[in-house]
Structure 1
Amino acid sequence: MRLILTSLMAVFTLATSAMAQAADNVDAFLDQQMARSNAPGLAYALVDEGGVITGASGVLRRGEDASVTPQALFQVGSITKSFTALAIMQLKEGGALTLEDEVALHLPDFETQTPITLRQLLGHTSGYSTVQGNAAHHDQSLAERVSQLAADGPAQAAGAWAYSNANYQILGAVIEAVSGEAYAEYVSAHILSPLEMTNTHVLTGEPVGGLATGHQPWFFGRRPVEASWGSSVTAPSGGIVSSAVDMAHYLQMMLNGRDDVISSAGKAMMLRPASDASPYYGLGWALDPEGGYALHSGLTPGFEAIAVLEPAQQRGVVVLVNASGGMGFGEVYPLLYGVTNRALGEPYADAGANWGPKSLYLLFALMPLVYLAASIVAFVLRDGLRAKSGLGGMISLWFPLVMAGVLAVVLLRGVPNLFGTTLTGLALYQPDLVFLLYASVIASAIWAGLRLAIAHTGPRA
């Protein structure tokens, strides 16, 4: 018996030592990278069978002195989807539903639609698109939003994988219909309370004290974001706020291999592919089969987060940042993944300058200035414009106006579509980019219009 106890203590000591070394590596990385990332603050938690280590760096709001602590609240964004999937699994294990149930069985608004199952919603293979999931839903309740999604129908046939908040909004409505409780109430009573996540909340529109200030990209820096307190619509897909300490409890539950808020078999099921059509997404968790990880990132205006599980090693990490990234000079992911990889003892190749997106951002920044310069040149060379005649002259004068219209469509519709959202949605995450898009469209229209006005006014050459 003494030999067994000695061996167990040795294993525990080694695990604790490795964890402490990982925390030291993370802290050394943060000392170097926080200023470079331009992120105001960060909190993290490392979890393994030896326990939990938490840490923090930076401030709750840029320009103020209040420091981030492991107890500080951050929005975790789409990591919320794993909580929603966990709630569905609880109802499944309680016999209230099955993953093969058609949505219409629980939500009658879907009776006229092509059948979609709960499993397809969980694995993002329902046919609802990213754009549908990111569509505006001002002043709608969850029931109204889901009814609208039922009326609109999926953008494509079920079976193809497409990440969409719409899937988890519908699942939130299923939880309410089956349990008889509001989504926030269900999650609080059946997940947060049993796990002693006492400082974690589901945002449904009411302010929550202690939330760090989020920060958006703003040209070559960041600016604070006015706090958004969510709604019942966004709650199931991205509405949870939590701390590094509380999220450590959540990761421990997912890794402990025990029956608690759900069975150990249910936890294992969540970390396997939802279906053959969804090989890299389980039930509320993205999957990295090659590395043996389950993970989920979260992005809300002003915040980014990532949670990673390594079930085989019974370890995990969560990183919370009060800054959201964007194209060009506002990236946060090198900081998130730098902390994550060092916490897990994995190599991380810094993305470096990453001049691809930065160059594109600079192009958008220069475009209005180029059109302004072209307008000045057009005025200076106005006699040449007035001398244009014939078909060639007509085309030369009117073609820029046509191109200005094409540019408006490309910039104001095409660019947001690349991000899987609308122009209004993009403005929530990167207002500086939207400002530049509008400036380019307006400047190009001014240039084209000015050339026409000059050509048709004043003395003819």
Structure 2
Amino acid sequence: MRHILIAVLALLALALATSAFAQTSDDLDAFIARHMASSGAPGLAYAFVDGESLVSDASGVMRSDENAPVTPHTLFRIGSVTKSFTALAIVQLAEAGQLTLDDEVASHLPVFETQAPITLRQLLSHTSGYSTVQGNAAASGLTLSERGVQMAQDGPAQAPGTGWTYSNANYQILGAVIEALSGQTYPDYVESNILRPAGMHDSHVLNGEPVEGLATGHQPWMFGRRPHDAHWGDRGHAPSGGIVSSAADMARYLSLMLNGKDDLVSAASKAEMVRPAGEGSPYYGLGWALDPEGGYALHTGLTPGFEAIALLEPAQQRGVVVLINASGGMGYGEVQPLLYGVTNLALGEHYEAGAGWGPRSLYLLMLLMPLVYLAASVSAWVLRDGLRAKSGIAGIFSLWFPLVMSGVLAVVLLGLLPRLFGTTLGGLALYQPDFVLLLYACVITSAIWAVLRLVIAHTGPRA
């Protein structure tokens, strides 16, 4: 009798949870429809985990110019959410006795012996000293071993352990450690020791080869979007952002991380992964960013044409994942309201999107500047007699100063501005191709205006 009563109560609790989510799902459907239209995102999939209950759903299409629908099994690039899988692999090797988290990297990768000591924990927690720009540097065509050699030769931008800086380089080096200790490639290790045992049969690690069922990414382009087909990844970036997965598979992954059981790793190790990794990393654990006040562990992911978020609420055994086959624009076509709005609504929390006027204003400024310089060029020709009449030191200065400022503008827009985004100009072009085009347009039109003034002043009849 007691067993029957327990079973009935369990079924009643599950029914109540399902009913509550059904109500939330109605709000989610309306929210998703509204924000997909405003952002231009072609497709979205999400999953919600509550104890043993796993719910997943999807909306939209896999590619903007086709009709194939997104489903809970459609593959998306999950970007930096991959870091939690890389950290999980390191923890597995630690539990197998092949390493400790406080080992020096050089003890597993001798090429680092010439550098200041860096520990695996510092790599896991982004306190190794490698910079964001170093992590975003091109690694196409490099194996993880070769990428490790490159990072060892470059060395960290600051002394290890002296500060927190998010860098893909940390997890690329960890991928090289996984290969060195396991004797397997990073994709083979993760697929055979994490993805398949977790029942994540949709998921794969990109290695440069096409993957069937992967949605097409979409980049922002002049207030709209365009498909981005070159998304097969490369080996050098695999541990920092190379996994493709589905909402259904990610629900299984979050459920495993929340179940409090020994399976892929021990329950104690799972708990350690979502705690601060050390004094220098109060808001980052082992592959997970932390929100101590809210009690969340989460990670976002951004790759060309895709954005994702995965969130854990360990105390409540709840989790959410949202996958979108579009990356956000500079104030226009943003997808963050979709990411965070769906996440909050799935957890029963309020969400209100911000105006985003900062990046929007910057985009509009870059859009207007070329038009202003072109108008100034026309004006220079119309007022050419005045330019030709300039003389003396003041006249020479007024003629040559715009050319100097044009050079300064080129340095600022093409050199310094991309670094504010933590990348190079080429890296920024992968995520914001229209914005980079506008940067070039600003530099070119400013140079045309400055040179045209000089040509007009020194040719033709003088006043």
The TM-score with structure 1 as length reference comes to 0.98
Is 1:306–1:318's contact at 8 Å kept on the other side of the alignment?
Answer: yes
Q: For residue 105 of structure 2, what is the amino acid of its counterpart?
A: V
Aligned to 1:302: 305
| 2:80 counterpart letter in structure 1 | S
The 4+ residue runs of structure 1 with deviation greater than 6 A are none
Return the offset for 1:31: 2.3
Query: Can you list the C-alpha shifts for 1:221-262, whole angstroms capped at 9, x where unaligned?
Result: 000002321111111000000111111110010000000010
2:222 paired residue among 207, 212, 219: 219
1:8 to 7, 10, 25: 10
Paired residue type of 1:150: A
Alignment of 1:55-204 (within 5 A): 55-159=57-161, 160-204=163-207
Give the whole-Å Cα distance in 2 for the aligned partners of 1:3 and 1:173: 53
Tell me, in whole angstroms, the C-alpha distance in 2 between the residues paired with 1:23 and 1:154. Answer: 46
Identity of aligned residues (%): 71
Question: 2:331–2:363: 8 Å Cα contact kept in structure 1?
Answer: yes
Give the match for residue 433 of structure 2.
431
Q: Hey, what does 2:27 align to over in structure 1?
A: 25
Q: Tell me which amino acid in the other structure corresponds to 1:446.
A: I
* Consecutive unaligned residues in structure 1, runs of 5 or more: none
Task: Give the CA deviation at 1:25.
Answer: 2.3
**1:344 pairs with 342, 347, 357, which one?**
347
Q: Give the counterpart of 1:360 among 359, 362, 371.
A: 362
Q: CA deviation at 1:3?
A: 4.4
> What count of residue pairs does the alignment treat as equivalent?
460
RMSD: 1.0
1:274 is aligned to 277
TM-superposed deviation, 1:356: 2.1
Equivalent residue for 1:322? 325
User: Residues 225-264 of structure 1: matches in 2 within 5 Å?
Assistant: 225-264=228-267
Do the aligned partners of 2:52 and 2:255 also contact (CA within 8 Å) in 1?
A: no
In structure 1, distance between residues paired with 2:6 and 2:83: 41
Q: What's 1:456 paired with?
A: 458
Post-superposition offset of 1:5: 4.0
Q: Which moved more, 1:141-150 or 1:372-381?
A: 141-150
- The answer (yes or no) to whether the contact 1:45–1:319 under 8 Å persists in 2 is yes
Select 1:292's aligned residue among 291, 295, 309.
295
Taking the aligned partners of 2:241 and 2:356, their CA distance within structure 1 comes to: 29
Q: Deviations over 1:80-102 (max 9, x none)?
A: 00000000000001100000000
- Alignment partners' CA distance in 2, 1:28 and 1:219: 27
Q: Which residue does 1:42 correspond to in 2?
A: 44
Q: Tell me if the contact between 1:213 and 1:224 (Cα under 8 Å) persists in the aligned partners.
A: yes
Q: Is the 8 A contact 1:23 1:46 kept in 2?
A: no
Partner of 1:415: 417
The answer for the alignment partner of 2:56 in structure 1 is: 54
How much has 1:141 moved relative to structure 2?
1.6
Report the counterpart of residue 443 of structure 2 in structure 1: 441
Amino acid at match of 1:86: L
Residue identity opposite 1:354 in structure 2 = G
